[in-house]
């Protein structure tokens, strides 16, 4: 029963709390800095965030070797399109790139905490 509770709490922290906090953080950051919505997004941000938090929560919960490296590589991979726009258009896209980076790091933080809770390495 304890395992079920740990997994339920860990997944709730990663998926639900992580989604809410990341959305509020990124929205308020972009509103404060007057960063417009990016045009032409094909995949909604919430779907990407949900899938990455689920995947990395499971990776951390099962204590897979190299999880931290994989998380940072994923964040870097997600930033490549923003970097290309930054190179092409100069500093006009810099605030969007930074807000995307901070949003990804916030999302990964909740995946980390949820995975540690689900794996039983920190108490809830």
Tell me: the pLDDT tens digits for 41-93?
678 888 999 999 999 999 999 999 999 999 999 999 988 876 666 667 666 66
**Between the CA of residue 55 and those of 38, 97, 99, what are the distances in Å?**
25, 23, 22
C-alpha–C-alpha distance, residues 77 and 89, integer Å = 19
Q: Is this structure's pTM higher than 0.95?
A: no
């Amino acid at each position: 029963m304890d395992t079920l509770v740990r997994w339920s709490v860990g997944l709730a922290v990663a998926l639900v709390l992580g989604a809410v906090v990341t959305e509020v953080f990124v929205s308020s950051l972009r509103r404060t800095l007057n960063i417009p919505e990016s045009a032409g997004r094909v995949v909604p941000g919430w779907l990407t965030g949900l899938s990455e938090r689920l995947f990395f929560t499971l990776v951390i919960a099962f204590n897979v070797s190299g999880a931290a490296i994989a998380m940072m590589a994923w964040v870097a991979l997600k930033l490549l399109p923003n970097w290309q726009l930054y190179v092409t258009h100069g500093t006009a896209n810099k605030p969007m790139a930074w807000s995307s980076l901070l949003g990804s790091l916030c999302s990964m933080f909740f995946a980390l905490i949820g995975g540690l809770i689900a794996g039983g390495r920190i108490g809830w």
